[in-house]
C-alpha cells in the first residue's frame, strides 16, 4: 500500500512538471513571434505592450538646433563666441546652429576668423539677420553669405561692405589693394555657397545695401523668416555641402536650445563696449590718482586698479587710438594742476577740451565710438568735481588760521604767575612761557600779540577775541 501511494505521488509531480514546461515553451514561442513581427503588423489580442514598443521604434528621433546671438561690432570677442558655439554644437551632436546676426561691422581680422570657422564647420550653420530693424553690414555681409543657409527678418538690411582703414585715410594704391582683396574674398565665399557673387563684389566695391526682399530676389539670402519656427520650417529639406559630400537638413519641428557662453566670454561681451570700456578707463585713472594723492585710502586704489585692468582687457579687443588715450591723460593732468596752480580756470577749461577730444577719438573706425552723451557727461562730471575741490580750497584759504603760532594771535588767557616781564601764562588750556610788555600780576587777564620760538609776547587785554 505504501509503495502504491508513493508511486502515485511521484507520477503527480512529474505531470505537474510537464505541464509547467509546456506552458513555458508556449510563452517563449509567443514572445518570439511578437519580436519577429514586422513594424506596423497587427498584434494578437492581449498584446498591447508589444504593439506600443513597435510604434516607439518606428518613430524618428526629433532634431536639436542650437541658437546663439552675434550682436554688436565684429571683434575678437564675437569671433571667439562663434567658434565656441560651433565647437559646442559639434561636440553635443546638434543638427544645426542658428546664428542671429545684428552687426554694423567691425574688424577684418575677426571677420576672416569667423568665415574660416564657418567654412570648416562640421555642423550646418543658418545665418538669420534679425530682429526687425537689424542689419548685417560691412563684416556682417561676409559672415552671412558664408553660412550654409541665410535668411533675413522683415525690416532688415544687408550690404555696405567696403573696407575702410582705421589708421586714417589710405592713398589710392593702398585703397585699391585692400578693396580688391576684400572683393575677391567676398566673391569666393559667395561662389562656394552658391550665392550671387556679382552682388557680393558690388557690396565691397560700391558699398551697395539692400533690404530683405531684394536680397531674396537677387539670391543673396535664401528666404525671409519672421520667427524661429518659420526659419526652421523653411530650412527643412535644404541641402548643405562640405566638399563633395551633400547632406539634407531635417529641422521642421526640431527642438531649439540657446547657447550659453562661458563666464569669460560673458564678461568680455559685457565690457567690450566702447562706452563701458571708456567709463572703466576713467574710473581707473581717477582711482589711481586719488590713491596717489591720499596714500593709505586703499579703496580708491583697489577700485581704480581693478577698473584699469578691466579697461585694458576691453580695449585689447578694439582698435584704440593712442592719441585719444594721451588726450584723456593730459586732461587729468590739467585738472590736478588746477588745484595747485592759480590759473584762474584756464587749466580746467583746457582739461575739459582735452577730455572731450580724447573721448571722441579714443577708437578708430565707424563701428567703434564713444557716444556723445557719455563723453559729455563724463567730461562735465570731472570738471564739476575738480572745480568743486578748487572752491573748497579757496574757502579754506579765506578762513582764519587756527593752528601754530599764528593761530594764537589775539587770543586771551590768564597770567599763571607774575610777569616781570617773564613768566608763564595759560592760553586755550595750554601753559606757555611768555614775555609781557609790562609787569602783569598773577591771575590777571592777558592777550597774545606775538611769539617766537615757543615764547609768547603778551600784554594787558584790549577788545578782541578771547580764548
Measured between alpha carbons, how far is 93 from 255 in angstroms, rounded to an integer?
13
For residue range 99-141, list pLDDT tens digits in order: 999 999 888 889 999 999 999 999 999 999 999 999 999 999 9
The mean pLDDT value for 77-90 works out to 93
In contact, 446 and 413? CB cutoff 8 Å: yes
pLDDT at position 121: 95
Measured between alpha carbons, how far is 281 from 272 in angstroms, rounded to an integer?
12
The mean pLDDT value for 371-379 works out to 83
Q: Is the pLDDT of residue 170 over 80?
A: no
Q: Is the pLDDT of residue 51 over 60?
A: no
Bridge partners (DSSP) of residue 137 are 159
pLDDT at position 167: 54
3-state SS string for the chain: CHHHHHHHHHHHHHHHHHHHHHHHHHHHHHHHHHHHCCCCCCCCCCCHHHHHHHHHHHCCCCCEEEEEEEECCECHHHHHHHHHHHHHHHHHCCCEEEEEEEECCECHHHHHHHHHHHHHCCCCEEEEECCCCCEEECHHHHHHHCCCEEEECCCCEEECCCCCCCCCCCCHHHHHHHHHHHHHHHHHHHHHCCCCHHHHHHHHHCCCEEEHHHHHHCCCCCEECCCHHHHHHHHCCCEEEECCEEEECCCCCCEEEECCCCHHHHHHHHHCCHHHHHHHHHHHHHHHHHHHHCCCCCHHHHHHHHHHHHHHHHHCCCCECHHHHHHHHHHHHHHHHHHHCCCCCHHHHHHHHHHHHHHHCCECCCCCCCCHHHHHHHHHHHHHHHHHHHHHHHHHHHCCCCCCCHHHCCCEEEECCCECCEEEEEECCEEEEEEECCCECCCCEEEEEEEECCEEEEECCCCCCCC
Measured between alpha carbons, how far is 152 from 210 in angstroms, rounded to an integer?
11
Confidence class of residue 290 from pLDDT cuts 50, 70 and 90?
confident
The residue ranking higher by pLDDT, 387 or 245, is 245
In the chain, % of residues over pLDDT 90: 35
For residue range 449-463, list pLDDT tens digits in order: 888 888 888 888 876
The CB density around residue 174, as the number of other CB atoms within 10 Å, is 12
Q: Is the pLDDT of residue 63 over 90?
A: no
Global confidence as pTM: 0.62
Cα angle, residue 260 at apex, residues 235 and 99 outer, rounded to 5°:
30
Nearest-10 Cα torsion for 137, 140, 141, 147: -150
Of 386-390, 407-411, 461-465, the range with the lowest mean pLDDT is 461-465
Q: Is the pLDDT of residue 59 over 50?
A: no
Q: Is the pLDDT of residue 241 over 80?
A: yes
pLDDT at position 49: 38
In the chain, % of residues over pLDDT 70: 81
For residue range 315-350, list pLDDT tens digits in order: 877 778 888 888 988 988 888 787 777 777 788 888
Domains (range + CATH), the chain: 64-263 (3.90.226.10), 273-398 (no CATH), 406-459 (2.40.50.140)
What is the phi/psi pair of residue 102, to 5°? -155, 95
Calculate the average pLDDT of the chain: 81
Phi-psi region of 194 (alpha: psi -120 to 50; beta: other; left: phi over 0): left
Amino acid at each position: 500500500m505504501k509503495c502504491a501511494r508513493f508511486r502515485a505521488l511521484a507520477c503527480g509531480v512529474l505531470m505537474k512538471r510537464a505541464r509547467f514546461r509546456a506552458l513555458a515553451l508556449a510563452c517563449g514561442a509567443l514572445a518570439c513571434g511578437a519580436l519577429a513581427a514586422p513594424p506596423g503588423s497587427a498584434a494578437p489580442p492581449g498584446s498591447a505592450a508589444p504593439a506600443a514598443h513597435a510604434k516607439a521604434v518606428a518613430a524618428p528621433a526629433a532634431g536639436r538646433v542650437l541658437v546663439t546671438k552675434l550682436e554688436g561690432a565684429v571683434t575678437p570677442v564675437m569671433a571667439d563666441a562663434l567658434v565656441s558655439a560651433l565647437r559646442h554644437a559639434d561636440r553635443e551632436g546638434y543638427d544645426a546652429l542658428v546664428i542671429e546676426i545684428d552687426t554694423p561691422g567691425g574688424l577684418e581680422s575677426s571677420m576672416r576668423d569667423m568665415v574660416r570657422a564657418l567654412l570648416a564647420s562640421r555642423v550646418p550653420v543658418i545665418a538669420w539677420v534679425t530682429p526687425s530693424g537689424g542689419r548685417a553690414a560691412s563684416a556682417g555681409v561676409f559672415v552671412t553669405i558664408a553660412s550654409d543657409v541665410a535668411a533675413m527678418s522683415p525690416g532688415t538690411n544687408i550690404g555696405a561692405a567696403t573696407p575702410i582703414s582705421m589708421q586714417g585715410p589710405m592713398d589710392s594704391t593702398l585703397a585699391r589693394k585692400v578693396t580688391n582683396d576684400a572683393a575677391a574674398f567676398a566673391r569666393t565665399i559667395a561662389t562656394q555657397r552658391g550665392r550671387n557673387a556679382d552682388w557680393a563684389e558690388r557690396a565691397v566695391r560700391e558699398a551697395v545695401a539692400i533690404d530683405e526682399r531684394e536680397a531674396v530676389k537677387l539670391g543673396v539670402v535664401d528666404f525671409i523668416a519672421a520667427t524661429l519656427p518659420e526659419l526652421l520650417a523653411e530650412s527643412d529639406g535644404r541641402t548643405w555641402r562640405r566638399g563633395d559630400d551633400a547632406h539634407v537638413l531635417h529641422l521642421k519641428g526640431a527642438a531649439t536650445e540657446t547657447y550659453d557662453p562661458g563666464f569669460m566670454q560673458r564678461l568680455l561681451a559685457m565690457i567690450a563696449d566702447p562706452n563701458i570700456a571708456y567709463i572703466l578707463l576713467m574710473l581707473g585713472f581717477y582711482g589711481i590718482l586719488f590713491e596717489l594723492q591720499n596714500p593709505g585710502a586703499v579703496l580708491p586704489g583697489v577700485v581704480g586698479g581693478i577698473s584699469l585692468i578691466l579697461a585694458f582687457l576691453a580695449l585689447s579687443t578694439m582698435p584704440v587710438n593712442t592719441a585719444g588715450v594721451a588726450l584723456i591723460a593730459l586732461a587729468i593732468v590739467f585738472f590736478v594742476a588746477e588745484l595747485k596752480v592759480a590759473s584762474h580756470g584756464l587749466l580746467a577749461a583746457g582739461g575739459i577740451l582735452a577730455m572731450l577730444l580724447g573721448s571722441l577719438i579714443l577708437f578708430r573706425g565707424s563701428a567703434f565710438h564713444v557716444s556723445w552723451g557719455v563723453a559729455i557727461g563724463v567730461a562735465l562730471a570731472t570738471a564739476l568735481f575738480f572745480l568743486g575741490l578748487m572752491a573748497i580750497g579757496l574757502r579754506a584759504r579765506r578762513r582764519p588760521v587756527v593752528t601754530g603760532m599764528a593761530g594764537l594771535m589775539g587770543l586771551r588767557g590768564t597770567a599763571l604767575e607774575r610777569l616781570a616781564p617773564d613768566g608763564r601764562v595759560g592760553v586755550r588750556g595750554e601753559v606757555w612761557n611768555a614775555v609781557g610788555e609790562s609787569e602783569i600780576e598773577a591771575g590777571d587777564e592777558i592777550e597774545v600779540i606775538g611769539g617766537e620760538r615757543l615764547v609768547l609776547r603778551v600784554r594787558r587785554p584790549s577788545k578782541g577775541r578771547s580764548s
